[in-house]
């Protein structure tokens, strides 16, 4: 999904439901079938904005031109929150589509359900246009279980630091973050100094979304070891360095230097604030280009990677969604043909070119990110994707855990609990689940 963050797709998908006039959203579900004449019908499902669904429909048309024996039917679902519960019910009743999207906060649950087809043998076959090694390994996340793969990322969105040159100038900041990053001088200390100047000038320092990428990227950027060990146990609660970093993060939200975009008032949301030059930094993906273009101030904005304690690049969050195949599909060959072409370099180029809303998850399609030479440091998207990571499997594997952890961090940001309590609550969630 090109707008990979679930916070974005939920609202856009609801709007898309009203915008669709093709009657597809009313489909009740069910996979395709093979006909006696060798033709097959593949039903696939996703959520998405109206523009995204239109692009998917265009892809389907091109695919069917190349494969006249395969008919593809898109079955969109209105809202992200409704999508996965409906899909799980369909899988249980054997009425699910043949191919379908799964969100990165849900993929582990679907893998563990046993309802997804094992993809690695198919990906390594001669019919594949998507070998496992073609993808950036950090993006598989909980779609990988043991040595097998049960889905692959459709595309990706590294959380970059969009910055407003006008806002920085208004705060008396003369250094350029992207230039500092190139010189190895883009440090946490420098970044926080800029944020202080922005706050002192009556502006918002930085806006973040409260989800896994924000809190775990912050730890990585400060040089703190990963919050999970090799066994999947949550260890950050016993790590003094992690507690110190989380405490620092919380204090920056508590004093208003950082703002949680999730909680901004209606009519003065994060997008509106950013294009009004009232915030210095906005941590989002490539889809932000559309917001900036609509405001008409493209040259006022650029991107930089996460600032780090050392100034050297660190692995940070890359949001994705996944494409999977129903293990009980009746049209396995046709479904895989669609799956592999949708995810291929050619397929991702077709879906992402000119759209400006995502970064390919597969090698060979990077030109779509660099087209138009915008933003000036667009290569940063690719560099961050290459070393980035998806949500940790212990969170993505248990329903509600990733969301529950974000809820605990929101308490920290609002000053309702300290870092020690936040990490202790996180450890409990990981151990016992969200219930």
* Fold match flag (6-157+319-385 vs 160-316+398-432): yes
Task: State whether residue 282 is helix, strand or coil.
Answer: strand
Whether 86 shows a pLDDT value over 50: the answer reads yes
**pLDDT tens for residues 250-263?**
999 999 999 999 99
Domain boundaries defined on the chain: 6-157+319-385, 160-316+398-432
What is the rounded CA–CA span in Å between residue 281 and residue 393? 29
Quick one: average pLDDT of 313-329? 97
Q: How confident is the model at residue 1 (pLDDT cuts 50, 70, 90)?
A: very low
Q: Taking a C-beta distance cutoff of 8 angstroms, is the pair 3, 9 a contact?
A: yes
Say if CB 221 and CB 306 are below 8 A apart: yes
Determine the pLDDT at residue 297.
82
Give yes or no for a contact between 3 and 49, defined as CB atoms under 8 angstroms apart: yes
DSSP secondary structure letters along 110-141? HHHTT-BPP-HHHHTSTT-S--GGGB-GGG-G
Share of the chain above pLDDT 70, in %: 92
- The mean predicted confidence, pLDDT, of the chain is 91
Position 36 scores a pLDDT of: 61
Burial-class residue 379 by CB neighbours within 10 Å (0-12, 13-18, 19+): middle
- For residue 399, give the 3-state DSSP assignment: coil
**Are 399 and 405 in contact, with CB atoms under 8 Å apart?**
no
Q: What is the mean pLDDT of residues 199-224?
A: 97
Three-state SS at 244: helix
Q: Whole-angstrom Cα distance, residue 349 to residue 366? A: 8
How many percent of the chain have pLDDT more than 90?
82
Q: pLDDT at position 77, please? A: 87
Q: How confident is the model at residue 25 (pLDDT cuts 50, 70, 90)?
A: very low
**Beta-ladder partners of 102:** 322
* pLDDT of amino acid 38: 78
Q: Residue 11 and residue 55: Cα distance in Å, rounded?
A: 18
Angle at 345 between CA 340 and CA 351, to 5 degrees: 90
Residues forming beta bridges with residue 308, ordered by sequence position: 187
Residue 106 clears pLDDT 70, i.e. is over it: yes
Within 8 A by CB and 6+ apart from 426, the residues are 227, 234, 236, 237, 405, 408
Euclidean distance between CA atoms 344 and 323, whole angstroms: 12
Q: Are 83 and 115 in contact (CB under 8 A)?
A: no
- Provide the pLDDT for residue 192: 98
CA distance 218 to 239: 15
pLDDT tens digits, one per residue of 333-364? 999 999 999 999 999 999 999 867 899 999 99
pLDDT of residue 14: 30
d(CA 191, CA 304): 11
On whether the CB atoms of residues 110 and 102 are closer than 8 A, the answer is: yes
pLDDT at 29: 55
Over the stretch 371-392, which tens digit does the pLDDT of each residue have?
989 999 999 999 999 999 999 9
CATH fold for domain 6-157+319-385? D-Maltodextrin-Binding Protein; domain 2 (3.40.190)
Beta partners for residue 27, in sequence order: none
For the entire predicted model, the pTM comes to 0.91
Q: Please identify, in words, the CATH class of the domain defined by 160-316+398-432.
A: alpha beta
What average pLDDT does this structure show over 45-59?
A: 91
Q: What is the mean pLDDT of residues 397-415?
A: 95
Return the number of other C-beta atoms located less than 10 Å from residue 348's C-beta: 26
């Amino acid at each position: 999904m090109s707008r990979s963050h679930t916070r974005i797709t939920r609202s856009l998908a609801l709007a898309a439901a009203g915008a669709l006039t093709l009657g597809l959203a009313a489909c009740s579900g069910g996979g395709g079938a093979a006909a006696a004449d060798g033709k097959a019908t593949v039903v696939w499902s996703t959520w998405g904005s109206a523009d995204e669904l239109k692009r998917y429909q265009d892809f389907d048309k091109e695919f069917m031109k190349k494969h006249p024996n395969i008919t593809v039917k898109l079955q969109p679902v209105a809202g992200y929150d409704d999508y996965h519960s409906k899909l799980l019910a369909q899988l249980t009743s054997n009425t699910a589509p043949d191919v379908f999207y799964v969100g990165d906060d849900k993929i582990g649950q679907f893998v563990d359900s046993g309802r997804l087809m094992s993809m690695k043998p198919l990906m390594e076959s001669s019919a594949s246009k998507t070998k496992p090694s073609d993808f950036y390994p950090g993006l598989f996340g909980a779609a990988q279980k043991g040595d097998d793969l049960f889905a692959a990322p459709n595309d990706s969105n590294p959380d970059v630091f969009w910055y407003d040159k006008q806002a920085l100038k208004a705060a008396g900041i003369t250094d350029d973050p992207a230039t500092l990053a190139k010189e190895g001088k883009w440090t946490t200390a420098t970044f926080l100094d800029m944020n202080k100047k922005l706050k002192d000038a009556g502006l918002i320092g930085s806006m973040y979304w409260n989800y896994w990428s924000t809190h775990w990227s912050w730890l990585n950027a400060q040089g703190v070891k990963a919050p999970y060990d090799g066994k999947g146990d949550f260890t950050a609660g016993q790590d003094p360095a992690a507690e110190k970093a989380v405490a620092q993060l919380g204090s920056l939200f508590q004093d208003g230097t950082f703002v949680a975009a999730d909680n901004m008032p209606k009519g003065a949301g994060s997008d509106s604030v950013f294009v009004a030059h009232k915030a210095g930094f906005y941590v989002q993906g490539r889809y932000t280009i559309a917001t900036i273009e609509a405001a008409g101030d493209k040259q006022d904005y650029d991107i930089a990677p996460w600032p780090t304690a050392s100034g050297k690049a660190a692995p940070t969050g890359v949001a994705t969604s996944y494409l999977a195949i129903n293990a009980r599909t009746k049209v396995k060959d046709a479904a895989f043909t669609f799956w592999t072409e949708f995810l291929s370099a050619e397929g991702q180029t077709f879906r992402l070119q000119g759209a400006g809303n995502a970064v390919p998850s597969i090698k060979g399609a990077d030109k779509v990110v660099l087209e138009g030479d915008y933003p000036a440091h667009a290569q940063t998207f690719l560099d961050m994707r290459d070393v980035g990571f998806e949500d940790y499997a212990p969170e993505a594997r248990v329903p509600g855990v990733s969301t529950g952890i974000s809820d605990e961090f929101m308490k920290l940001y609002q000053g309702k609990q300290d870092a020690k309590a936040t990490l202790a609550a996180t450890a409990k969630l990981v151990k016992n689940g969200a219930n």
